[in-house]
């Protein structure tokens, strides 16, 4: 049986301008739950008196939540060349830094991390099918160095 | 020679995870050996991550952080006492260098 606890490895994703993003290779269950919580908003169903509530994915928050879940560090600097520090910072600080970069840069970060997320989910699916002891697939993150 | 570093907030790290938050810590170096004592912050202690290795004691300062590998630790659930390896210093750019305080 394969281990259900993954080593907390990171991958480095190169983006434009020579910058890099350091991201978690996989999320833990707690990180995945937080991602789901931050990506959804409750909506009331039917008459208000019934109290029925469903969850709706918020696409804008979902993208940001995915970025915050995976992002560990980056090489970004401010206009004076000083590092914009996010490593070991609380999520609120990381979100504030993401809010402060320009929109094109943010979208590039989000696209790179969403591609990494898709690749790691595909890897995990393939790995699950191979739990019978067959050789593990190669890691297939499209950007990872 | 006795060296002492006191601070309010620090963390025990396992890779990029916080295994525990520590407050009111005191790091001492006696005859080359580093030790730390401090209080574990209730609700911010991950019992599983504390079983992982390697663990590091990370004490931030303005513009960087000191980082020691935890060689051994004891806790009664609310306080931490640990022996530490050599210290390294991290700058705000994330680079790590050995510190002359070895």
Question: Domain locations in chain B?
Answer: 2-98
More confident: A29 or B100: A29
Please count the other Cβ atoms lying within 10 Å of the Cβ belonging to residue B29: 17
pTM for this one?
0.82
- For residues B58 and A88, the answer to whether their CB atoms sit within 8 Å is yes
Locate the chain B residue with the closest alpha carbon to A75: B93
H-helix segments, A1-144: 29-39, 59-70, 91-100, 103-129
Helices A59-70, A91-100: crossing angle, 10 deg rounding: 120
Residue B92: which of A7, A10, A83 has the nearest Cβ? Answer: A83
Fold of B2-98: Thrombin, subunit H (2.40.10)
- Binding-site residues on chain A for chain B (CB distance < 8 A): 7-10, 24, 72-73, 82-83, 85, 87-88
Where residue A141 falls among pLDDT bands split at 50, 70, 90?
Answer: low
Burial of A28 (0-12, 13-18, 19+ CB in 10 A): middle
Q: Name the percent of chain B lying above pLDDT 90.
A: 79
- The contacts of residue B6 (CB under 8 Å, 6+ apart) are B25, B26, B27
Q: What is the pLDDT of residues A30-76, one digit of tens each?
A: 999 999 999 988 776 665 556 677 878 888 899 999 999 999 999 99
Where residue B102 falls among pLDDT bands split at 50, 70, 90?
Answer: very low
Instruction: Flag whether pLDDT at B75 surpasses 60.
Output: yes
CA distance A114 to B41: 34
Residue found by looking up tokens 């609310």 in the block = B78
| ipTM for the predicted complex | 0.76
Q: Name the percent of chain A lying above pLDDT 90.
A: 65
């Amino acid at each position: 049986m394969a281990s259900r606890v993954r080593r907390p490895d990171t991958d480095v994703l190169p983006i434009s301008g020579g910058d890099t993003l350091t991201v978690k290779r996989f999320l833990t269950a707690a990180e995945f739950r937080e991602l789901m919580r931050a990506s959804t908003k409750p909506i009331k169903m039917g008459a208000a008196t019934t109290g029925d509530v469903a969850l709706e994915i918020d696409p804008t928050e979902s993208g940001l939540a995915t970025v915050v879940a995976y992002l560990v560090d980056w090489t970004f600097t401010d206009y004076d060349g000083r590092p914009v520090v996010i490593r070991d910072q609380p999520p609120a600080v990381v979100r504030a830094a993401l809010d402060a970069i320009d929109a094109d840069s943010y979208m590039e970060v989000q696209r790179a991390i969403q591609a990494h997320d898709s690749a790691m989910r595909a890897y995990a699916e393939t790995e699950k099918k191979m739990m019978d002891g067959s050789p593990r697939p190669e890691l297939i993150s499209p950007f990872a160095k | 020679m006795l060296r002492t570093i006191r601070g309010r907030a620090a963390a025990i790290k396992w890779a990029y995870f916080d295994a525990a938050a520590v407050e009111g810590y005191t790091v001492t170096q006696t005859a080359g050996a580093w030790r730390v004592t401090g209080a574990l912050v209730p609700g911010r202690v991950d019992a599983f991550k504390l079983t992982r290795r390697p663990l590091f004691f990370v004490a931030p300062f303005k513009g960087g952080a000191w980082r020691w590998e935890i060689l051994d630790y004891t806790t009664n659930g609310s306080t931490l006492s640990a022996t530490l390896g050599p210290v390294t210093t991290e700058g705000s750019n994330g680079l790590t260098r050995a510190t002359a305080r070895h």
